[in-house]
Amino acid sequence: MSEELIPDKYQQAIAASKVVEDDAAVSAAVAKIIDAHFAENNNADVYKFLFNSIDLTTLRSVDSPSSVARFTEAVNSFEELFPSLGNVAAICVYPNFASVVRTVLEVSSVKLACVSGSFPSSQSFEEVKIAETSLAIANGADEIDIVFNLGYFFDKDYESVCDEISEQKEATRDGRLKVILETGALKTAANIKKAAVLSLYSGADFLKTSTGKEYPGATLEAAYVMAEAIKEYYNKTGKKVGFKASGGIRTTEDAVKYYTVIKEVLGEEWLSNEYFRIGASSLANALLSSIAGHDVNHF
């Protein structure tokens, strides 16, 4: 558990946050940002940045060592085929494929991310979750994406929520921990704020919107609340935490909208793939097509 929170302080930490909780106010703020700034960001330079911020993801039941190897080879061949463009930020796979990606991947700038902790439900023994993360790191993962424990959260067992995140952070060692809030299950701005605050003070290196599995995926409103929580946390602690949008982001227009919200709330400092990511599969080809001006289907 993070030293920044002790068991009797969880409610106090949430209450101390001034992040907006009113859903209508959040929707209005997002609409204002998009109306005022989307057009200025809808250009090729932003498309290139967004492509370079993708966690290229394959999380299918039919994934296999050979299919993941082919997936990784597409990343290896990208630079030869598109020498003027930066590659994706990371490849994201199930943890049992970490060693496959680490063996095949030849691009040093591309990170290896693994979902872990009984993704996507976060339902298992805590020891199993920690072991899965430890094994992923031991097999070469640079980044770990875990799911916020919704069961504990809705039971208001905030101590267990935070303990689990902190222990998973410890298991990542020198890696970076992304905490998936599953905003489609949290639903309200108030719940998203609470989950964000708890995750931030428990050691999250990134806040991520969604798994893209059981519940609705990312929304601009959820991104706005999460970004406001990240900004508030940074102002209080000086620690920069990244933001990752994931779940249902398939078009260039969608991606530019998330970029626009993060740029306006968090500023230019967050506009690097160290602090801004989009988890996607089909989006990569959509962005390449927008950049090239014709259909591209490399991935």
Enumerate the active-site residues.
145, 208, 244
What would you measure as the largest C-alpha separation in the chain, in angstroms? 57
Cβ atoms 255, 50 nearer than 8 A: yes
For residue 296, the cross-strand partners are: none
Whether cis (ω within 30° of 0) applies to the bond prior to 7 is no
3-state percent breakdown (helix, strand, coil) of the chain, nearest 5: 55, 10, 35
Question: Tokens 């859903």 belong to which residue?
Answer: 23
CB neighbour burial string for 222-242, b if at least 16 within 10 angstroms, e if fewer:
bbbbbbbbbbbbbeeeeeebb
Q: How far is CA 244 from the centre of its chain?
A: 3
